[in-house]
Structures are given as structure tokens and as C-alpha cells.
Amino acid sequence: CHDSNGKLHEFGSHWRNADCYDCSCSRDGISCCSSFATPVGYDEEKCVSIFNKETCTYKVVEKNDDSKECPVHEWVG
């Protein structure tokens, strides 16, 4: 299987790509799914979600003060 960057992967292999998706290669092709949960239940007027590609996680902080985290009531993944 060739991934979107042109890298060749063997059948039966598994990897995490640069966009934090867990992928696998089979004779049917490549299958990928997110390895992270996305915050959806928070105050979007007051807060903003920030994705960290190094840790593959979201952080939700206040727009006016990113040192203050916002409560998140629902995550989807």
C-alpha cells in the first residue's frame, strides 16, 4: 500500500501518520481512523480548541487567556 505521502507499507502493517491517524494496510487497501478524541461540548464563544500534533491531543482554553483551560462536557472520536 502507498500512503498519501507515497511511502510504501507492507500488507498487515500498522502505523500512525503525521496527522495522528492510526492506519493499517491490507490487500483491500489502506484504512485509517483518528487516534484522538475531538472536544465538542464546551463554550465555543469563550473558548477555543487547540490540537497538539506531538501528543495527538486537544486542549480547550479560554480565547482571552490560553493559560486557563475550559471544561469540556463531550468528546467524539
The pLDDT tens digits of the residues spanning 19-58 come to: 999 999 999 999 999 999 999 999 999 999 999 999 999 9
The pLDDT, as a whole number, for residue 5 is 85
The pLDDT, as a whole number, for residue 77 is 81
Q: What is the 3-state secondary structure (H, E, C) of the chain?
A: CECCCCCECCCCCEEECCCCEEEEEECCEEEEEECCCEECCCCCCCEEEEEECCCCEEEEEECCCCCCECCCCCEEC
The pLDDT, as a whole number, for residue 4 is 86
